[in-house]
Structure 1
Amino acid sequence: MTDARPDRNGADPDGSATADPRSDSIRIEDSGSEDLRIDDRAALAAAVGLLAVPVTVIVDGDAYTIVSLWGLVTVAPGPGGETVVSGYPLWRYLLDHPLSFGALPASIRAWPLALAFHLLAVGSVGTGVLWDREDRRVTGGLLVLAGIASLSVALGIGFRYGLGAPSAVGTVVPLAAICAWACAIALYGPALRGILGR
């Protein structure tokens, strides 16, 4: 059975490509839509899960700094040998910085953008779950942009930790970027290929 919902598929039930008379959007045929479609709630869970994936993890001796979309979390040994965990939220990091936002390095300016793209992707998937109005091209595109912004943050922070450019590429693993792109390809690959006209 083919899903004929107007905003989720790009074809009429009979499998032909047509223009929606009520909008300027073009509908694209996908004869295997039933097989390619994924469960909306699973997609939402994946998008929400990406919010918890670290952008990267910096190792400095016995100290570990988790760079998340929300800020920094440092795990390090304390004076008495105990493990000390401290947090530095993103909003505080930006407000405490002596430079204005426009004067910050590009990788730092990309940090809130990465968070924003992830949140918008969650919202886009949520429209599909709640109102059946998700545009899968938008969601996939947001995940791609989130990955690009997260990669910029990961490499930029690696440079500031003294990992020079060649070293940073091999040392700083851009976890959030990899996961965002993996979700974009696995969950929204057909929609993204449609954007590219393939």
Structure 2
Amino acid sequence: MAADSRRALALLALAALPWTVLTSGDLVFAWGLATTDPIHVTTLSDYLLVYTQGLPNRLLAWPVAVLLYLLAVANAALGTVAPEREDRRVTGGLLALAGVSDLWFALGLRTPGLLAVPVGTVLLWTAACWFHWPDLRTALWQ
């Protein structure tokens, strides 16, 4: 398997891992929110179309993070079929920005007695550095 294909698959696999872990036992994934008591799943589309009316803007950072992440995955997938068409700086930058947005979401969930751990921020930033640090370095310091 080519390096670009492995990279695209690794980025896609991030959707299977929780992005925000709450001390209440709830897990926020790229695709939805899994509640453990009682067991329930709220998809991202339900969150956006049903539950977001009246929510503070900081709680909309999760869908923004997912959008940035999906754009990064799409750009990486483009790099597997047409390497000359992908700008790897864009892919790395989108991953880094998605991590910032996930962090903002996790900070927005903080309340007394509830801790939100932004696992997705660590995962997205790690992926950005692991796969795109040379690209990001040249973009930032040129």
Measured after TM superposition, the shift of residue 96 of structure 1 is 2.4
1:66 aligns with 2:27: yes
Output the TM-score relative to the length of structure 1: 0.65
Higher helix share: 2
Counterpart residue number, 1:175: 119
SS at match of 1:99: coil
- Any residues of structure 2 matched to 1:119-138 within 5 Å, and which? 119-132=70-83, 133-138=85-90
Counterpart residue number, 2:108: 156
- Name the CA distance, whole Å, in 1 between partners of 2:52 and 2:69: 27
Counterpart residue number, 2:42: 88
Q: Using CA pairs under 8 Å that are at least 6 residues apart, name the structure with larger relative contact order, 1 or 2.
A: 2
- Name the CA distance, whole Å, in 2 between partners of 1:55 and 1:92: 18
SS at match of 1:149: helix
Counterpart residue number, 2:134: 190
- Any residues of structure 2 matched to 1:89-108 within 5 Å, and which? 89-97=43-51, 99=53, 104-108=55-59
Measured after TM superposition, the shift of residue 134 of structure 1 is 1.4
- Name the CA distance, whole Å, in 1 between partners of 2:107 and 2:46: 21
Instruction: Work out the percentage of aligned pairs sharing the same amino acid.
Output: 38
CA root-mean-square deviation: 1.9
Q: Which runs of 5+ in 1 are unaligned?
A: 1-37, 77-83
Runs of 4+ in 1 over 4 A off after TM superposition: none
Q: What is the aligned length? A: 140
Check conservation: 1:56, 1:154, Cα contact below 8 A: yes
